[in-house]
Amino acid sequence: MSLDGVYDDNNPFALILAGKIPSIKLYEDAHTLAFLDIQPQSRGHSLVISKWSRARNILEIEDEALAQVMASVKKVANATRRALAPDGIHIAQFNGAPAGQTVFHLHVHVVPRWEGGPLGFSAHAQGNVADAAALTALADEIRAQF
């Protein structure tokens, strides 16, 4: 899987949108969905996706879908800041496996960062799967800030 390819209807985010696997939602509107990453790089790490675009990466995405996703990224970043008081917020997006992409439905990472914490995505998508109950409690904190 790299920059070119066919959209896989069974990718994890397609399955979330189809209601076939669960997600811990932070925010949803008509066009976008935000949920917590199950292998978080930091406390409060979330992902924002388009509900309707079948773009695998930024090279393919419709301008309208990209604008909708980024507007939601801003909302999620602000709510995350209000909830968790990070010192910085890392916004990241990966295109193609050599760039670190592992799920081929375009998504934007919103990663709160704290002074003295690690930088970068070294263990990206390889870390421990977070405790579901802890993520659910965290989601409640962030959802209260929209």
Least CB distance to ligand AMP at residue 67 (A): 20
Among 70, 91, 103, 130, binds ligand AMP (CB under 6 A): 103
Q: Residues 76 to 95: which contact ligand AMP by CB under 6 A? A: 94
Is residue 54 part of the contact set for ligand AMP (CB under 6 A)? no
Is residue 122 part of the contact set for ligand AMP (CB under 6 A)? no
CA 31 – CA 29 distance, rounded (Å):
6
- Among candidate residues 45, 105, 107, 109, the one labeled active-site is 107
Give the torsion through C-alpha atoms of 45, 29, 103, 127, to 10 deg.
Answer: 20
CA 104 – CA 107 distance, rounded (Å):
8
- Annotated active-site residue 107? The verdict is yes
Report DSSP state, residue 78.
H
CA 20 vs CA 7, 8, 12, 15, 129: distances in Å: 17, 14, 9, 5, 19
Nearest-5° angle of CA 87, CA 36, CA 54? 115
Among 48, 75, 101, 135, binds ligand AMP (CB under 6 A): 101
Is residue 23 part of the contact set for ligand AMP (CB under 6 A)? yes
To which residue do tokens 């800030």 refer? 145
| For ligand AMP, the closer CB: 67 or 132 | 132
Q: Which residues bind ligand AMP (CB under 6 A)?
A: 12, 21, 23, 35, 37-39, 47, 94, 100-103, 124-125
